[in-house]
Structure 1
């Protein structure tokens, strides 16, 4: 007898090669697709990611718009992305009446206000070797199965000493144990924190967006609770190469993810999480550094009055 995790995994996991372009084009019909790249100081890589998506859009018609959401870059991210063929929006210029916050969750949330796709594909801007299947694979379940509303990518993530199939250090040490403890229905997710995923607008409009690095795990949990496990699928996208953060940064990421999961599991809201880390001072002594991390949530976009007005103008 199969365990529930295995049953979901067998039914809802596919590979990018299962979704050939001709099949997707035949299924797309009138579905509008937006690809969004959240970016913060990614001038070295954002151009090649945008060019990959731009070629896919030109050659296949599967992508209708490419948007880069600038999260406050101080380098040439915006210029490079524009020259590569994307429309760039700075977080401060989108829904200015609600203000701006730092972090990835903020720009993902605000991207809903400047895109028009029925399906929105999120792709990280730090990819070293971006391939079209990062987009086409995610589109497969959404274009062919109307009951699927969120598709997560999974892939090999090369990291010396970690094994080629590592789900990521924070995933293996933090997210996976938390999911197994509090949300075992999601235990079949290979990479719950993956930055490549896609969703139907009707879902993305109906869920809150966490600030910072809690956004991916929160989206999974909220989709599970709002739509149920059958609404979630995952696609093996092959191999993903990207820049790696140092362990101190991963510690701050892990703190945010732990906070978000415990909040949702307990149903209680608490103050912003903090973590104290240590660094040598100018005299060679350890000095404590405490980071207060913003995980404040944005409400479901379909409850924001300014968004309703903007979508009315788009339509």
Structure 2
């Protein structure tokens, strides 16, 4: 499994403890040049910590979460790659098992987490970028994916062979791009979701959410072939590199 991390020293050890309870094949923390103690906390918690520059070192890094995930897929060795965000608060064991279980069906290629997202202590239907940007655009442009409750969830799993075939958007549009790309390549029935209960993340201020929403919108417009939406920075599939 792969945990992308950037300055998450307060939560990364708890995330690792929760996923270790499921005894995964491997736990890789991809550290994107954290300036705090994230790497030390992750290592002490029992994960293998890789700085993103160590993976495919001949390829310069680009800013963004998608870069960590792309390099994490390159470093992973399992048949299924489970992704979990490093900023989860009070994570519960069982995530890895739940996200991996649907792959007993050979037609499943992507498993997304479904959950109630807390905001100011109250459970809600999702994050603000999810509800106000991602889901409306999916319903309008990709109605076959309109039932996915948490399209931007950082907790999900992909067959590694499938991940190697797909481009990864460099920034926060990576989850939206992968969702559309898997459904386009393998059909919408190749995507399923599992209920993980209530999830608690660090809620970001609007000053950070605006740029995130912009990247998500441009990624979905790019996948829909809408002209004039601006360039979307993405890594080409790893299958041509590894």
TM-score by length of structure 1 reads 0.74
Structure 1 contact 263–269 (Cα < 8 Å) conserved? no
How many Å separate the matches in 1 of 2:96 and 2:228? 35
**Aligned pairs for 1:60-99 within 5 A:** 63-99=24-60
Which residue does the alignment assign to 1:302?
A: 239
How many Å separate the matches in 2 of 1:141 and 1:268? 36
**Aligned pairs for 1:155-166 within 5 A:** 155-160=115-120, 164-166=123-125
SS, match of residue 27 in structure 2:
strand
Which whole-Å deviations, capped at 9, do the CAs of 1:145-164 have from their partners, x for residues lacking one? 11101000011111138x62
Which whole-Å deviations, capped at 9, do the CAs of 1:73-100 have from their partners, x for residues lacking one? 0001111101110001111111111110
Q: 1:248 aligns with which of 192, 195, 207?
A: 207
Instruction: State the Cα distance separating 1:56 from its structure 2 match.
Output: 2.4
SS, match of residue 172 in structure 2:
helix
How many Å separate the matches in 2 of 1:246 and 1:267? 29
Higher fraction of helix: 1
SS, match of residue 191 in structure 1:
coil
Aligned length: 242
The ranges of structure 1 where at least 4 consecutive aligned residues each deviate by more than 6 angstroms after the TM superposition are none
How many Å separate the matches in 1 of 2:21 and 2:155? 18
TM-score by length of structure 2 reads 0.96
**Aligned pairs for 1:203-218 within 5 A:** 203-218=162-177
Which whole-Å deviations, capped at 9, do the CAs of 1:223-263 have from their partners, x for residues lacking one? 11111011110001001111110011110100001111111
SS, match of residue 302 in structure 1:
helix
Structure 2 contact 138–145 (Cα < 8 Å) conserved? yes
Gaps of 5+ in 1: 1-34, 58-62, 273-294, 308-315
How many Å separate the matches in 2 of 1:149 and 1:216? 14
SS, match of residue 180 in structure 2:
helix
Instruction: State the Cα distance separating 1:133 from its structure 2 match.
Output: 2.3
**Aligned pairs for 1:178-257 within 5 A:** 178-257=137-216
SS, match of residue 42 in structure 1:
coil
Cα separation, partners in 2 of 1:245 and 1:237, compared to 1, 3 Å: same
Q: 2:68 aligns with which of 87, 93, 107?
A: 107
Question: Does 2:5 align with 1:39?
Answer: yes
Question: Does 2:95 align with 1:150?
Answer: no
Structure 1 contact 151–198 (Cα < 8 Å) conserved? yes
Which whole-Å deviations, capped at 9, do the CAs of 1:282-311 have from their partners, x for residues lacking one? xxxxxxxxxxxxx4100111011xx2xxxx
How many Å separate the matches in 2 of 1:298 and 1:128? 30
How many Å separate the matches in 2 of 1:53 and 1:258? 31
Larger Rg: 1
Structure 1 contact 149–199 (Cα < 8 Å) conserved? yes
Instruction: State the Cα distance separating 1:268 from its structure 2 match.
Output: 4.9
Instruction: State the Cα distance separating 1:270 from its structure 2 match.
Output: 5.8
Which residue does the alignment assign to 2:102?
A: 141
How many Å separate the matches in 1 of 2:66 and 2:124? 26
